[in-house]
Structure 1
Amino acid sequence: MIFLGFGTTIELMTRYIEPSSSRFVTNSLTGFNLLSEPKRSEFYLIDGLYREKTGAFVGSIANETVQKIGIKKAFVGVNGLKGIEVLNFSIEEGTLQKNVLDNVAEKYLVSVANKFDRSDFYTFYDLRKIDALFTDSTLSAELRSYYQQYTKIIQ
C-alpha cells in the first residue's frame, strides 16, 4: 500500500503513476479523482473532516484510519523546509502527515524548490527521518548541498 498525500506537487505526481498491481491510499479528494481514471491501480480514499482549501481529509477519523491500515511507503508534500524542520500551514494536516510517516517503512517528501529554506506555521516532522526528498531541477546547488546533509535529494 502506497500513501499519496495532498497538494499540487503530489497531484502532478499522479500523471506518472503507471497502472500496476499496487494499492494506493490518499486523503486528497483531488488526488483520488485523478487516480480514479479507468485502468488505474486499486486505490482508497481516507475520509474525515474535509478542508476545502486544500481538498484534504483530516482529523480524528483520518488519523485513526492511517494508523490501522498497512501502508508501506508514503509520499508527502510540504509547505516549507527550514534546516531539519518539515513544515505545513495547518496543525490538522501536519498531524495526519506525521501519523502517516510514523507508520510507514519508506518515507518520501516531495517539494518544489521554492519551499526549501522557507518556514511555515507548523513543524510536523524531522527531515533526518526521511528516506529521500524529491524536488524539481531548479533547486540551487547550494541548497541541494545543504539539505543533503539531512536526507537524500532527488532532482
Structure 2
Amino acid sequence: MIAFNYLKNHTSYRILLTGGEFSPITEEFIGEVAERSFESLNVDISFAATNGIFDNNVTTAQFIEGNIQNAALNAAKIKCIVADYSKLNKSDVYTFRKLTDFDYLITDNHLSEQDFNHYSKYLTILKEPKNDTDNHDEPIH
C-alpha cells in the first residue's frame, strides 16, 4: 500500500487494484480473486519483489504470494524483479519464477562486481548509480 499511497498522492497515474484478500504483512492483495483480475489486463511493465535470488531461482516465503506475482508477470510485456544486494545469493522456501523469465533486475549500488557478473548472465541488471557522498560505514538515520 506504500506504493499505492505514493502514486495516489503524488501522480496523476491511473491506478488499478486487484481486489481479493488483503495481506497486512506484505500489503498486497492475494488469492484467486486477485489472480483472476490479471487475466483480462494488458500490462506494460510489471515489478515483482523477492525474498531471495539464488542462481536462476527467484524465491518467496509463501506459495500464495508467488501465485499473485506470477499472475501479474504473466500479463506483462516487460518483467522486472526488484531486489537490493542483500537478497542475492539467498533463497526462501518457494521458487515462484526463474530469473531468466525476467527482463531486468533492478537493484541498489551495493551490488558487488562478482554478483553483477554472475547475475548478468541471466538478465539485464539496472543498478543504482554510485553517489560520491555515500558512506556505508555510518548508520542511516
TM-score bracket for this pair, using the shorter chain length = 0.7 to 0.9
Distance 2:61 2:122 in 1: 22
In structure 1, the gaps of 5 or more residues are 1-28
Report the CA distance between 1:149 and its aligned residue.
Answer: 0.6
Report the CA distance between 1:103 and its aligned residue.
Answer: 2.1
Larger Rg: 2
> Counterparts of 1:61-72 in structure 2 under 5 Å?
61-72=33-44
Report the CA distance between 1:38 and its aligned residue.
Answer: 5.2
- Tell me if 1:84 matches 2:84: no
Give percent identity, aligned residues only.
Answer: 28
- Tell me if 1:96 matches 2:73: no
> Counterparts of 1:1-40 in structure 2 under 5 Å?
29-37=1-9, 39-40=11-12
Paired AA for residue 91 in structure 2: S
Report the CA distance between 1:88 and its aligned residue.
Answer: 0.8
Aligned structure 1 segments of 4 or more residues deviating by more than 4 angstroms: none
Report the counterpart of residue 137 of structure 2 in structure 1. none
Report the counterpart of residue 136 of structure 1 in structure 2. 108
Distance 1:49 1:137, change over 3 A: same
Paired AA for residue 7 in structure 2: L
Total equivalences in the alignment: 127
Matched residue SS, 2:43: coil
Q: Indicate conservation of the 8 Å contact 2:81/2:106, yes or no.
A: yes
Matched residue SS, 1:125: strand
Distance 1:146 1:51, change over 3 A: same
Distance 2:39 2:110 in 1: 35
Among residues 118, 130, 134, which one is paired with 1:146 in the alignment? 118
Report the CA distance between 1:30 and its aligned residue.
Answer: 2.7
Distance 1:140 1:102 in 2: 30
In structure 2, the gaps of 5 or more residues are 128-141
TM-score of the two chains, using structure 2 as the length reference: 0.85
Distance 2:83 2:30 in 1: 20
Distance 1:36 1:113 in 2: 29
RMSD: 1.2
